[in-house]
Amino acid sequence: MSVQPYIPSGGLTGKLVRMNARLRARRPMTFALDRPIISITFDDFPRSAVTHGRAALSNRGWLGTWYAASGFTAGDTHHGAMMTCDDIRTLAEAGHEIACHTHSHTDSARTPVEALLADIDRNADALHQAAPALKLENYAFPFGEASPASKTALQARFSTLRGVRPGVNRTGDDLNLLKAVGIDGGQDGLDRVLDWIGDAQRKPGWLILYAHDIQDSPTDWGCTPREFEMVLEAVARSAADVLTVRDAVKAIGA
């Protein structure tokens, strides 16, 4: 049984909330690269991403970062069947980075910080039960929705906090709200991803991509296995270093 997706506040209110979150509680980074870094990440995440994403990355000898929301474990959402404890364990054992979302996929712009922290603790506990040796070093805000208070509260706990505002991360950009580009939106979305890869190549920076479901009939937030492969093909052509978020943080010396 699928559930309807939650949509964060839109309109002017949503825009102002997002702008306020963007401009405050920043942790700007400084780095220079000779060639781009690209991180391929997965949010939530559906089983279809594990099946297709893991295989496609491993064909190229690459590792990904998987932002897990434990409340979805073995469940079913609008993305389809979701990851299992076994997926968490086997991904971690294969060297992929398991990173932190929240247990309940919380909208941080609308949740008091104490409740957000409790939900992150619950997520971390559940993920550690699946894979006891996990170190959760990086975090993604569900829906990309942040607040200055949540950025401040989480910056001591995680190396980076990721949003969903598209762009390439460069000097001056915010470790507390990393830019990231969704692999979604059909042909137009694919074209945008390819443009951002070109942008990261022309002026080397750190590009983070994120995927949700990867299936033949994807949701608005997903892509097909063929589209995913076309993205990886472009990443390979860019001669970027393909690194997990954890390894990218080390590479830029953040």
- Quote the CA–CA distance of 113 and 108 in Å, as a whole number: 8
Which position among 53, 64, 142, 189 is part of the footprint of Zn ion (CB under 5 A)? 142
Give the residue carrying structure tokens 């994120």.
210
Q: How far is the CB of 210 from Zn ion (least distance, A)?
A: 9
The piece of 12-20, 31-39, 139-147, 239-247 that touches Zn ion (CB under 5 A) is 139-147
Number of residues that bind Zn ion (CB under 5 A): 3
Vertex 182, ends 178 and 185: CA angle to 5°?
155
- Quote the CA–CA distance of 254 and 249 in Å, as a whole number: 5
Please count the other Cβ atoms lying within 10 Å of the Cβ belonging to residue 239.
Answer: 9
- Show contacts with Zn ion in window 22-81 (CB under 5 A): 43-44
Q: How far is the CB of 44 from Zn ion (least distance, A)?
A: 4
Does residue 182 interact with Zn ion by CB under 5 A? no
- Indicate the residue among 24 and 78 with the shorter CB distance to Zn ion: 78
- Quote the CA–CA distance of 147 and 158 in Å, as a whole number: 16
Q: How far is the CB of 58 from Zn ion (least distance, A)?
A: 23
Comparing every residue's Cβ against Zn ion, the nearest one is 43
Give the residue carrying structure tokens 């950009």.
173
The site for Zn ion (CB under 5 A) is made up of 43-44, 142
